[in-house]
């Protein structure tokens, strides 16, 4: 029975690097993910003054900037370059963090990054005393930021495109000169669990905050750990100036990266056990177990790990607004099921590393399924998969598309990918671990 250790959480790794970099003194981060995206966040924080010292035991010592991210000198015309690569998380979190710093910063990306939206976050930052200019396309990176820090007060942010906008503001808010209240605007929120991860890291690094919900004409403090969603107009975050406290911080295993192996246990020939996952994790992608269970998978959770056994899956209707990164995995698993699967409430997936709705549909169609794209999701009707055939799939330059396509090997398809190396964005050792699967 294959057993796979889950890699460290990418979401927790980004936030741990940022929090440790903003602290006064040195922190030790253990279990940090080694991937392209995390390297971009480290490089950007180093450009703002943090120092990183890898240790022989694999941990990372971080010397922080004491709440003062440093940019270039505007009088000299130089700017600190924040090269975010293709990491949307790095870009969205660090635009806000840089705005809370001092000096001038240029934020530049690669690939599709200069087409990915950032305008909602910029709009929320402008009332707080920051100057931000678009250097190419309005509403997208690259950006030029000139700042003397955030002034505090009030602002509002919509989470219809991404929860990362709010996470960036929350990470930056303790550096403001005065208390800052962040209201949630818009019509709906996406990916709330990622905000809970941000709050968890703030809490671990000693940053005080309050989450309040509206009750009539008054606001009352809520237990953020029990919130399952944020209601626009009915939730606000009250932050005050505070210091990040240096910490020993351990990064937990990644449910997103584990999803491919959990699905492999359900659709493959042998049970698969994944170790290193917290069953009580705040990660939204822990929902992979609930989704597989709803489709009929047999699952065993024990202290030794999470085991999924080969199962006859049945299609079902799924609202995946809280776990959009699972859509490529679930869509491929649905191709192995009997009956139709409908995935809804993930329109924002069109703004990822690829248009994930169209890209997932194309790969599932290549394997033999009948797929209809919806405005906010996918309808998947399984057909006999093209077993014992060589099928060319595109990764679309998207790590999650590449890893999910690997699952088709378990149907006997000879999977050929145009860019298997793109998995290094989040899971550099994926192919090595995938070789342990029984095909």
Residues recognised as catalytic: 325
d(C-alpha 296, C-alpha 338), whole Å: 11
Q: Where are the beta strands (DSSP E) in 265-323?
A: 272-275, 298-302, 305-309, 317-319
d(C-alpha 69, C-alpha 49), whole Å: 6
d(C-alpha 306, C-alpha 315), whole Å: 22
- Which phi and psi angles does 231 have, rounded to 5°? -95, 120
d(C-alpha 323, C-alpha 283), whole Å: 9
DSSP secondary-structure letter at 309? E
Question: Is beta strand 26-30 parallel, antiparallel or unpaired with respect to 60-63?
Answer: antiparallel
The answer to whether the beta carbons of residues 307 and 290 sit under 8 Å apart is: no
Q: Please enumerate in sequence order all residues whose Cβ is within 8 A of that of 56, keeping only pairs 6 or more positions apart, or say none.
A: none
Determine which helix (DSSP H) or strand (DSSP E) holds 107, and give its type and residue range. strand 103-109
d(C-alpha 374, C-alpha 339), whole Å: 18
Q: What is the DSSP string of 139-187?
A: TSS-EEEEES----EEEEEE-SS-THHHHHHHHHGGGSSS-EEEEEESS
Determine which helix (DSSP H) or strand (DSSP E) holds 293, and give its type and residue range. helix 287-294
| Both tokens assigned to 225 | 């750990």
d(C-alpha 337, C-alpha 231), whole Å: 34
Q: Please enumerate in sequence order all residues whose Cβ is within 8 A of that of 33, keeping only pairs 6 or more positions apart, or say none.
A: 7, 8, 9, 10, 13, 251, 254, 426
What is the b/e burial string over 363-388, where b = at least 16 CB atoms within 10 angstroms of the residue's CB?
Answer: bbebbbbebeeeebbbbbbbeebbee
d(C-alpha 26, C-alpha 335), whole Å: 49
160 burial type by CB count under 10 A (0-12 exposed, 13-18 middle, 19+ buried): middle
What is the b/e burial string over 294-314, where b = at least 16 CB atoms within 10 angstroms of the residue's CB?
Answer: ebebebeeeeebbbbbbbebe
| Both tokens assigned to 169 | 């503001």
């Amino acid at each position: 029975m294959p057993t796979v250790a889950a890699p460290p959480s990418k979401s927790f790794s980004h936030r741990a690097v940022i929090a440790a970099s903003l602290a006064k003194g040195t922190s030790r981060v253990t279990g940090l993910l080694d991937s392209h995206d995390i390297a971009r966040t480290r490089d950007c924080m180093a450009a703002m003054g943090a120092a990183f010292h890898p240790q022989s035991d694999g941990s990372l010592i971080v010397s922080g900037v004491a709440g003062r991210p440093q940019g270039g000198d505007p009088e000299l015309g130089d700017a600190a370059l924040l090269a975010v690569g293709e990491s949307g998380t790095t870009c969205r979190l660090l635009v806000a963090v840089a705005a809370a710093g001092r000096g001038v910063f240029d934020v530049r990306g690669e690939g599709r990054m200069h087409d990915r939206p950032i305008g909602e976050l910029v709009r929320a930052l402008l009332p707080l005393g920051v100057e931000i200019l678009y250097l190419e396309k309005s509403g997208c990176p690259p950006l030029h930021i000139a700042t003397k820090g955030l002034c505090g007060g009030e602002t509002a942010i919509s989470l219809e495109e991404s929860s990362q906008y709010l996470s960036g503001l929350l990470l930056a808010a303790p550096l403001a000169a005065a208390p800052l209240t962040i209201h949630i605007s818009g019509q709906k929120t996406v990916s709330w669990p990622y905000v809970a991860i941000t709050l968890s890291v703030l809490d671990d690094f000693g940053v005080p905050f309050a989450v309040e919900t509206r009750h009539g004409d008054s606001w009352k403090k809520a237990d953020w750990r029990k919130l399952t969603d944020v209601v626009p107009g009915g939730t606000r975050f009250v932050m005050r100036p505070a210091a990040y406290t240096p910490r020993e911080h351990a990064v937990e295993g990644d449910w997103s990266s584990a999803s491919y192996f959990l699905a492999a246990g359900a659709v493959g020939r042998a049970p698969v056990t994944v170790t290193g996952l917290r069953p009580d994790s705040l990660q939204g992608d822990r929902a992979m177990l609930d989704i597989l269970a709803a489709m009929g998978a047999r699952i065993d959770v024990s202290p030794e790990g999470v085991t999924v056994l080969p199962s006859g899956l049945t299609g079902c209707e799924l609202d995946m607004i809280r776990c959009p990164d699972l859509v490529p995995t679930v869509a491929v698993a649905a191709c192995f099921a009997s009956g139709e699967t409908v995935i809804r409430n993930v329109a924002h997936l069109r703004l990822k590393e690829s248009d994930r709705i169209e890209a997932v549909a194309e790969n599932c169609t290549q394997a033999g399924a009948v797929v209809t794209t919806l405005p906010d999701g996918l309808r998947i009707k399984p057909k006999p998969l093209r077993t014992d055939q060589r099928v060319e799939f595109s990764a679309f330059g998207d790590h999650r598309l590449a890893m999910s396509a690997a699952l088709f090997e378990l149907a006997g398809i000879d999977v050929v990918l145009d860019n298997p190396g793109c998995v290094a964005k989040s899971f550099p050792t994926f192919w090595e671990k995938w070789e342990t699967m029984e095909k």
